[in-house]
């Protein structure tokens, strides 16, 4: 081997800094190469240079990159700046890595150890370093702590042995040809219907995911609530009053409900059965990324993509382990005692840590595992600088979940009493925690509340002093939220732990779904319904799931990526043929939904002045500025108002509480809310 | 032929969404009749329209049927 340094490629600049700090024991020096920062140091007599990518620096694309051309099957990897003009920094980074590669004699891929990280590293080694992907070494670690990094670099593995890259590259290629061909075909169909070009996008996982939302949306919009009644009895004995619900949760008719009341009021009731039993509730299993995203949504309302972003920040700060993991298991090799001891230095956790260290810590383990990484866990490193509120929240959740996994089972006493009045039964139910066990460590996230039940003994007699009847209506199914949609995708086996959150965000970005309550727009409805009618395979969950299985087989080296790519091409050709046969009908339906959707986006709401026209966003022909005006102008309504000239506008679901004019959200670096009425009494005086 | 409520393609008189909503509202009437003992068709439609749980397309079809 010729003399030269070892070039280490990390996935992100923060990771590069941590790697160099850990390996150089703080003796590294930073320098600038082509405007990017790299680190240079010596370790055990060997010179190292550590550089970083910034996510994917190469992307799959077609040579023509012409949005009207399809089918496209001849795809290649290009540097990101050629695919996306906004990625100029990618070119600089590639140039820096290419320059550094010329002086290197050994290469180490130290990107995140998963499909995406492997693909990023592989592409840089192949294209920027000059086909070093096979001779390079791989550093694998699950946390950016000094201990983990030193261990990883002392135990470098040949790159080829650990190749997830083939699967990653195949996934990117499949997703590209799938998305680009069908999206271009759909957009062209809509264009053929006579309106201007607008992109209609569908993706391999996006289609079925939108399908779940549409199915639920139809259920909600065609829901007719049916009435029923609930009854609860009021009982009294020696001045003690208690209330118990009727044993049947749902009384179908008003007549039956009134009959129950008539047959109970004033009669004697007997406590017939009082059952108390204690149940054990085992500790929760450690977090994988899906569980963390769901729990963060439940606890803080964070969307899955936000949680992932925060967790990645905590990982880069070395506070938690690698978050994109499917594992719910913590192997002993992470050194439980050392992590718990580290957490003991943080005042909030010191008492819990001391308690757990008294025994031999052994965590609860979940069923899911991941060959690459353990479950998400704290590294035991104390944050050296104050964390942001959201970072602190997710960090606290991860720490408490980790500690809870080591806790003993909790015990809860459940009480159920039945009170009988003639033929009718009423029930009292409650429960309380008698031994908190792991709940003490999990704190407020444990989510069990005590509901005390009055002390009632079997055979005790009461007087029925009243029966309240309450008219209720069936509740419609709730819309999916980002967390429940993620759960549905997991359950259906579509997407990956790394991509699901982004797919959900894309559906919002494409205008198929609006807001956090995930209401499907007319455009989203139309895309799914049209596909269901003419090209059902585009939204087929089964087809997507099957593709995921085959991609996993490629990852596990039991499948061939070349065969999978051929199969994808055959499938797309079939779909394009189906689309082509129905091009006119598909185009007409999508174009009409697009037009309606664009028109609707300009309507802010009813005019509060004339009460009949719509207030719309209008662009002045003279000044080219946008403003709000009533469309009832020709009938004399002069309601109008200025609008901010920058930032996308989204109408709030409710008008202003003070003046009933529409409210808009103005997008930008600092999004803000605005009542469009310039004379709104709620506006602050200058 | 266009749906008189939303302007989508109708087959024959309503679009598929409002046709589905109409079927559901008609099926629900018998359940409401049973639940209350008796309820006039117009009162039923008014109640359905007012109920916050009612789906948007059902509300629109109730409005149309109420005339």
Each domain of chain B, given as residue ranges in start order, spans 16-66
Contact residues on chain A for B46, CB-CB shorter than 8 A: none
Note the pLDDT of residue A549.
87
Which whole-number Å values give the CA distances from A273 to A276, A334, A414, A421, in the listed order? Answer: 10, 51, 14, 13
pLDDT at residue A516 tops 70: no
d(CA A532, CA A455) in angstroms, rounded, equals 58
Report the residue of chain B nearest A476, measured CA to CA: B53
pLDDT tens column, A245-293: 999 999 999 999 999 999 999 999 999 988 989 999 999 999 999 999 9
d(CA A105, CA A163) in angstroms, rounded, equals 21
Which pLDDT band holds residue A203 (cuts at 50, 70, 90)? confident
d(CA A453, CA A195) in angstroms, rounded, equals 67
d(CA A621, CA A630) in angstroms, rounded, equals 16
Note the pLDDT of residue A668.
67
Say if the Cβ atoms of A529 and B21 lie within 8 Å: no
Mean pLDDT of all residues in A556-561: 80
Contact residues on chain A for B48, CB-CB shorter than 8 A: 224-225
CA atoms within 13 A on the CB side of B64: 17
Number of A to B CB contacts under 8 A, please give it: 61
Residue with tokens 């992470």: A334
Contact residues on chain B for A230, CB-CB shorter than 8 A: none
Structure-model confidence comparison of residues A382 and A111, the more confident one:
A111
Say if the Cβ atoms of B25 and A255 lie within 8 Å: no
Which pLDDT band holds residue A69 (cuts at 50, 70, 90)? confident
Contact residues on chain A for B10, CB-CB shorter than 8 A: none
What share of residues in chain B are helix, strand, coil (percent, to 5)? Answer: 65, 5, 35
Mean pLDDT of all residues in A144-172: 85
Contact indicator for A266, A464 with CB cutoff of 8 Å = yes
Which pLDDT band holds residue A523 (cuts at 50, 70, 90)? confident
Mean pLDDT of all residues in A595-613: 74
Nearest to residue A128, comparing CAs of A172, A83, A79? A79
d(CA A286, CA A376) in angstroms, rounded, equals 7
Q: Looking at CA atoms only, how far is residue B46 from chain A in angstroms?
A: 12
Contact indicator for A426, A247 with CB cutoff of 8 Å = yes
Mean pLDDT lowest for which of A45-49, A84-88, A424-428? A84-88
d(CA A232, CA A265) in angstroms, rounded, equals 11
Structure-model confidence comparison of residues A75 and A686, the more confident one:
A75
d(CA A75, CA A340) in angstroms, rounded, equals 49
Which pLDDT band holds residue A596 (cuts at 50, 70, 90)? low
pLDDT at residue A590 tops 90: no
Average pLDDT, rounded, for chain A: 88
Nearest to residue A200, comparing CAs of A535, A658, A564, A675? A535
Which whole-number Å values give the CA distances from A236 to A181, A269, A428, in the listed order? Answer: 73, 9, 14
pLDDT at residue A518 tops 80: yes
First CA to last CA across chain A, in angstroms?
73
Where is mean pLDDT largest: A190-204, A498-512, B40-54?
B40-54
Q: In A124-163, which positions are buried (b, 16+ CB within 10 angstroms) versus exposed (e)? A: bbbbbbeebbeebbbbbbbbbbbebbeebbeebeebeeeb
Mean pLDDT of all residues in A197-217: 88
Nearest to residue A563, comparing CAs of A554, A572, A574? A554
Contact residues on chain B for A218, CB-CB shorter than 8 A: 17, 20
As given in the structure block, the two tokens for residue B39 are 């309820």
Structure-model confidence comparison of residues A468 and A381, the more confident one:
A468
Mean pLDDT of all residues in A23-49: 91
Task: Provide, rounded to the nearest whole percent, the portion of chain A with pLDDT above 90.
Answer: 51
Note the pLDDT of residue A597.
64
Question: Torsions phi, psi of A74, nearest 5?
Answer: -90, 90
Number of residues assigned to chain B: 67
Which pLDDT band holds residue A1 (cuts at 50, 70, 90)? very low
pLDDT at residue A685 tops 70: no
Which pLDDT band holds residue A401 (cuts at 50, 70, 90)? very high
- Residues of A annotated as catalytic are 322
Mean pLDDT of all residues in A424-438: 94
Structure-model confidence comparison of residues B47 and A670, the more confident one:
B47
Q: Looking at CA atoms only, how far is residue B56 from chain A in angstroms?
A: 5
Note the pLDDT of residue A669.
63
Contact indicator for A289, A308 with CB cutoff of 8 Å = yes
Mean pLDDT lowest for which of A111-125, A217-231, B32-46? A111-125
Say if the Cβ atoms of A225 and B48 lie within 8 Å: yes
Q: Is the pTM of this model over 0.80?
A: no
Residue with tokens 């005019």: A607
Choose among A224, A254, A475: nearest Cβ to B48: A224
Q: Hey, CA dihedral for A586, A591, A592, A598, is it positive or negative?
A: positive
Report the residue of chain B nearest A474, measured CA to CA: B53
Say if the Cβ atoms of A253 and B24 lie within 8 Å: no
Which whole-number Å values give the CA distances from A305 to A362, A398, A493, A650, A661, in the listed order? Answer: 31, 16, 19, 21, 33
Q: Looking at CA atoms only, how far is residue A538 from chain B in angstroms?
A: 21
d(CA A230, CA A484) in angstroms, rounded, equals 29
Say if the Cβ atoms of A252 and B37 lie within 8 Å: no
Structure-model confidence comparison of residues A534 and A365, the more confident one:
A365
Nearest to residue A97, comparing CAs of A141, A33, A54? A33
Strands A672-675 and A663-666: antiparallel
Name which of A215, A220, A221, A224 to mutate to probe chain B: the one with the most chain B Cβ atoms within 10 A of its Cβ. Answer: A224
d(CA A375, CA A405) in angstroms, rounded, equals 11
Which pLDDT band holds residue A686 (cuts at 50, 70, 90)? very low
* Whether residue B12 has a cis bond before it, omega within 30° of 0: yes
pLDDT at residue A320 tops 90: yes
Question: Which segments of A198-239 are extended strands (E)?
Answer: 227-237
Question: Which segments of A131-287 are extended strands (E)?
Answer: 137-138, 157-158, 227-237, 240-246, 268-281
Q: Looking at CA atoms only, how far is residue A263 from chain B in angstroms?
A: 19
pLDDT tens column, A476-513: 999 998 889 999 999 998 988 878 888 988 888 888 88
d(CA B9, CA B21) in angstroms, rounded, equals 15
Which pLDDT band holds residue A131 (cuts at 50, 70, 90)? very high
ipTM of the complex: 0.98
pLDDT at residue A441 tops 90: yes
d(CA A258, CA A231) in angstroms, rounded, equals 9
Residue A173: helix, strand or coil by DSSP?
helix
Average pLDDT, rounded, for chain B: 92
Domains assigned to chain A: 5-163 (3.40.50.140), 169-221+478-595 (1.10.460.10), 227-283+410-473 (2.70.20.10), 289-405 (1.10.290.10), 607-675 (no CATH)
Mean pLDDT of all residues in A12-39: 90
d(CA A572, CA A556) in angstroms, rounded, equals 25
Q: Which residues contact B52 (CB under 8 A, 6 or more apart)?
A: none
pLDDT at residue A162 tops 70: no
């Amino acid at each position: 081997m010729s003399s030269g340094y070892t070039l280490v490629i990390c996935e992100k600049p923060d990771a590069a800094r941590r790697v160099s700090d850990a390996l150089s024991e703080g003796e590294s020096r930073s320098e600038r190469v082509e405007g990017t920062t790299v680190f240079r140091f010596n370790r055990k007599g060997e010179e190292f240079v550590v550089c970083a990518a910034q996510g994917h620096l190469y992307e799959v694309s077609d040579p023509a990159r012409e949005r009207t051309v399809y089918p496209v099957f001849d795809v290649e990897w290009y540097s990101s700046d050629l695919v996306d003009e906004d990625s100029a920094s990618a070119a600089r980074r590639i140039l820096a890595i290419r320059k550094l590669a010329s002086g290197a004699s050994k290469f180490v891929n130290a990107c995140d150890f998963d499909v995406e990280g492997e693909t990023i590293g592989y592409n840089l080694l192949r294209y920027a370093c000059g086909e070093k992907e096979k001779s390079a070494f791989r550093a694998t670690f699950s946390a950016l702590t000094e201990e983990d990094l030193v261990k990883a670099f002392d135990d470098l593995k040949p790159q080829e042995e650990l190749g997830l890259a083939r699967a990653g590259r195949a996934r990117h290629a499949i997703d590209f040809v799938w998305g680009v061909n069908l999206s271009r075909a759909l957009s062209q169909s809509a264009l053929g219907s006579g309106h201007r070009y607008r992109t209609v996008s569908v993706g391999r996982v996006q289609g079925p995911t939108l399908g779940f939302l549409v199915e639920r949306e139809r259920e909600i919009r065609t829901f007719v609530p049916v009435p029923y009644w609930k009854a609860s009895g009021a009982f009294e004995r020696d001045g003690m009053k208690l209330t118990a619900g009727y044993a049947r949760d749902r009384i179908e008719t008003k007549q039956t409900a009134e009959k129950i009341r008539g047959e109970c009021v004033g009669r004697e009731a007997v406590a017939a059965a009082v059952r108390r039993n204690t149940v054990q509730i085992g500790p929760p299993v450690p977090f994988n990324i899906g569980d963390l995203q769901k729990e963060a949504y439940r606890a803080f309302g964070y969307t899955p993509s936000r949680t992932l972003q925060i967790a990645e920040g905590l990982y880069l700060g070395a506070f938690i382990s690698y978050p994109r993991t499917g594992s719910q298991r913590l192997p002993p090799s992470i050194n439980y005692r050392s992590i718990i001891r580290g957490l003991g230095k943080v005042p909030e956790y010191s008492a819990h840590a001391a308690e757990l260290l008294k025994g031999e810590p052994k965590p609860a383990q979940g069923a899911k595992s991941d060959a690459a990484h353990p479950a998400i866990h704290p590294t035991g490193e104390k944050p050296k600088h104050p964390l942001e509120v959201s970072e602190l929240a997710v960090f606290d959740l991860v720490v408490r979940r980790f500690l809870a996994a080591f806790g003993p089972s909790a015990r809860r006493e459940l009480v159920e009493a039945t009170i009988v009045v003639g033929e009718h039964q009423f029930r009292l139910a409650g429960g309380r925690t008698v031994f908190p066990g792991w709940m003490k460590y999990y704190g407020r996230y444990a989510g069990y509340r005590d509901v005390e039940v009055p002390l009632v003994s079997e055979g005790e007699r009461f007087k029925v002093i009243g029966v309240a009847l309450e008219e209720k209506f069936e509740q419609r199914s709730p819309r999916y939220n980002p967390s429940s949609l993620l759960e549905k995708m997991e359950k259906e086996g579509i997407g990956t732990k790394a991509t699901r959150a982004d797919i959900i965000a894309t559906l919002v970005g494409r205008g198929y779904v609006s807001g956090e309550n995930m209401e499907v727009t007319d455009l989203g409805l139309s895309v799914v319904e049209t596909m269901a009618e003419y090209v059902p395979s585009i939204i087929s969950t089964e087809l997507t799931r099957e593709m995921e299985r085959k991609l996993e087989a490629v990852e596990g080296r039991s499948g061939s990526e070349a065969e999978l790519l051929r199969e994808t091409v055959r499938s797309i050709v079939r779909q394009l043929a189906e689309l082509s046969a129905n091009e006119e009908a598909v185009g007409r339906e999508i174009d009409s939904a697009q037009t309606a959707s664009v028109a609707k986006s300009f309507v802010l709401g009813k005019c509060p002045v004339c009460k009949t026209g719509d207030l719309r966003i209008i662009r002045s022909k003279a000044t080219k500025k946008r403003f709000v005006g009533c469309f009832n102008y020709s009938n004399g309504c002069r309601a109008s108002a200025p609008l901010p000239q920058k930032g996308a506008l989204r109408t709030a679901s409710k008008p202003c509480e003070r003046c009933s004019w529409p409210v808009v959200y103005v997008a930008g670096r600092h999004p803000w809310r605005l009542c469009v009425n310039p004379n709104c009494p709620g506006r602050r005086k200058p | 032929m266009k749906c008189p409520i939303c302007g989508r393609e109708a087959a024959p008189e309503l679009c598929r969404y409002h046709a589905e909503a109409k079927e559901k509202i008609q099926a629900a009437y018998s359940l409401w009749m049973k639940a209350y003992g008796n309820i006039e068709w117009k009162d039923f439609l008014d109640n359905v329209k007012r109920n916050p749980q009612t789906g948007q397309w059902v509300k629109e079809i109730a409005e149309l049927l109420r005339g």
